[in-house]
Structure 1
Amino acid sequence: MKQRDTNSIRYPLEADIKLEKLTQNLHRSKKDIFCQMVDYFYRSKKDPADPGDEMLKRELSSGISRILSFIRQQEKDFLLPLFSDAGLLKAAAARQKEVLEGIGRHLLTESERTGTIVQSNEHLLKGVKLLLSKQKEKDLLKQQFSELLEYYIAQREEMGWTTTNVKKEELTAHIRKSLKNL
């Protein structure tokens, strides 16, 4: 059986110093870090000698392009319709505001008219109440006058030809006094 870990590599002292710092920072052995570096470059297909790393730049560029196209699509699908709908809503709200202000002005004038009508109705109601009270007084006066007339007629009938003028005058004075008291 052959031992797996038999290969060795010679490298400059500056690279060894850098590798030593990496081992301290990452808390791994030099062998582990070296194997992981080889795996990284193998998988990513990056050239360690290429400082610009064009492949990485292309990947970043394509990622940014995808993000920008996604944002543009979102703007087209959501933001632009939202802005246009917001504009329509704003215009509709302005029209509704004008309508509501018109209704408010109309209600104010109608309220003033209603106040005037209420005052007129109250005035008319007072007049009608006054007329009713006067009508009741008139009816009461008619009734009292009717009773007085009936009394006069009854007393006059009781008096005959033989009744003295004094009695007739007393009856007439009594009726006149009663009429004045009405």
Structure 2
Amino acid sequence: MPAGSGLYSMTQEVVMVRIDPNSKSVRYPKEVDDRLSLLARKLGRTKRELVIQMVDYFYKSKKDPADLNDEMLKKELSSGISRILSFIRKQEGDLLVPIYSMASELSTLAKLQGKVTKAIAEAQLKGNAAVGESVNHLKILDSDLKRLIVALAEKDKLKSGFRKILEHYIAQRETLGWPVSAAKKEELAKQVRQALENL
């Protein structure tokens, strides 16, 4: 093997170099380090974790750390509140107003139905009273008709009795032989019979 060949083989070997992820450093005053240490202890994290999380927070939120009043956050909150209010107004117009209107109409219908029901009940009471009066009138009419039928039967019976009496009178008069002409006798009998029928 030629001289220096061992060196040659060593240079050909891959040298594994460990890359340190903490290769960057930042310098800041001691007062800032005190506050950072206090904040890290309070949050239960290391200063390194806290710095990484702060950078991620400002990177993702696109906030300016120099803006202590956080105007961007205020604008976003104001915009979010405006969107919420706009959504509520839209829902109010689309849902709440029609529901309120329907509830008002239903209330009006319920009141109207109550009035109609009351009117029907009153009409039924009046109808029942009228039916009662009609029944009473019908009873009176029935009683009057019965009396009239009885009276008509009695009148017919009375006429029949008078007719028998008259016929008997006429027959008896014929037998008595009064000196009266036959025409006058017949006329007299006819008048008496007619008078009897007119009773």
Q: Give the TM bin, normalised by the shorter chain.
A: 0.5 to 0.7
Structure with bigger gyration radius? 2
Q: What do residues 89-109 of structure 1 show as CA deviations (whole Å, max 9, x unaligned)?
A: 222222212111111111222
Match in the other structure for 2:35: 18
Cα distance in 2 for residues equivalent to 1:79 and 1:116: 55
**Residue 83, structure 1, aligned to residue 83, structure 2:** no
Which of these residues, 50, 56, 59, is aligned with residue 73 of structure 2?
A: 56
Q: Give the secondary-structure state (helix, strand or coil) at the position aligned to 2:96.
A: helix
Which of these residues, 23, 27, 30, is aligned with residue 47 of structure 2?
A: 30
In the alignment of these two chains, the number of paired residues is 130
Aligned residues: CA RMSD:
2.9
Q: CA deviation at 1:15?
A: 2.5
- Percent identity among equivalent residues? 47
Cα distance in 2 for residues equivalent to 1:80 and 1:16: 59
Superposition pairs of residues 26-175 of structure 1, within 5 angstroms: 26-116=43-133
Cα distance in 1 for residues equivalent to 2:44 and 2:83: 37
CA 1:117/1:18 → structure 2, altered by over 3 Å: closer, same or farther?
farther
Unaligned runs of 5+ in 1: 132-182
Unaligned runs of 5+ in 2: 1-16, 148-199
Q: CA deviation at 1:119?
A: 6.7
CA 1:47/1:119 → structure 2, altered by over 3 Å: closer, same or farther?
same
Q: What do residues 30-52 of structure 1 show as CA deviations (whole Å, max 9, x unaligned)?
A: 10111111111112221111112
AA of the residue aligned to 2:91: Q
Q: CA deviation at 1:12?
A: 3.0
User: TM-score under structure 2 normalisation?
Assistant: 0.54
Q: Give the secondary-structure state (helix, strand or coil) at the position aligned to 1:50.
A: coil
AA of the residue aligned to 2:105: L
